[in-house]
């Protein structure tokens, strides 16, 4: 009986540990790829937010590797119901292209982000700048607004070399 309990406990623990390990490996790979690609980025995320404002109010931003290439993607909103993805050139800081968001998942994310930003009194630029100021040596990689307990916050992902962390900044 004791052996059966031990074996069962081991199997349950293994079932929970293995998928977590797989997920971490995937995220670790993405982080390593992005950290390496960021070496080519000349502009901070905050400057991309400023550049994208010509296309609408920035509601989120992130550096990402898309099709093997680094890009700075900023979601913007105009008129309360028109959402665009603005790609900012990571070397010059100029808008490279702006396209309407039509993908259902991306549109759902943009709507949720716009709801959080509707309650915000601070900009994403201010939140990202504050996070960088409070975390010496780190660089902002993404800034994503959300509502937490009814308050707008920005989750700012930061990187320094191979070290990653996410901090929350209040937007109200």
3-state secondary structure of 67: coil
- Cα separation, 42 vs 72, in Å, equals 11
Tens digits of residue pLDDT in 130-153:
999 999 999 999 999 999 999 999
Q: Which two tokens stand for residue 150?
A: 């009814």
Least confident of 24-38, 65-79, 109-123: 24-38
- Cα separation, 25 vs 128, in Å, equals 27
Q: How many residues does the chain have?
A: 172
Identify the residue with better confidence: 70 or 3. Answer: 70
Contact of 36 with 169, CB cutoff 8 Å: no
Q: Kindly state the greatest CA–CA separation across the chain.
A: 69
Q: State yes or no: pLDDT of 41 exceeds 60.
A: yes
**Prediction pTM value:** 0.83
Contact of 45 with 128, CB cutoff 8 Å: yes
Percent pLDDT > 70 in the chain is 85
């Amino acid at each position: 009986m004791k052996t059966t309990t031990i074996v069962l406990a081991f199997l349950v623990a293994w079932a929970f540990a293995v998928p977590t390990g797989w997920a971490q490996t995937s995220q670790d790979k993405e982080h390593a790829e992005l950290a390496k690609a960021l070496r080519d980025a000349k502009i901070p995320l905050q400057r991309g937010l400023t550049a994208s404002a010509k296309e609408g109010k920035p509601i989120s931003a992130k550096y990402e590797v898309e099709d093997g290439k680094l890009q700075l993607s900023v979601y913007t909103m105009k008129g309360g119901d028109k959402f665009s993805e603005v790609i900012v050139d990571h070397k010059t800081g100029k808008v490279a292209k702006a396209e309407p968001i039509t993908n259902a998942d991306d549109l759902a994310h943009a709507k949720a982000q716009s709801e959080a930003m509707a309650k915000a009194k601070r900009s994403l630029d201010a939140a990202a700048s504050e996070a960088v100021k409070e975390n010496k040596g780190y660089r902002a990689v993404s800034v994503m607004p959300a509502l937490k307990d009814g308050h707008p916050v920005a989750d700012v992902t930061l990187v320094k070399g191979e070290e990653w962390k996410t901090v929350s900044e209040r937007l109200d």
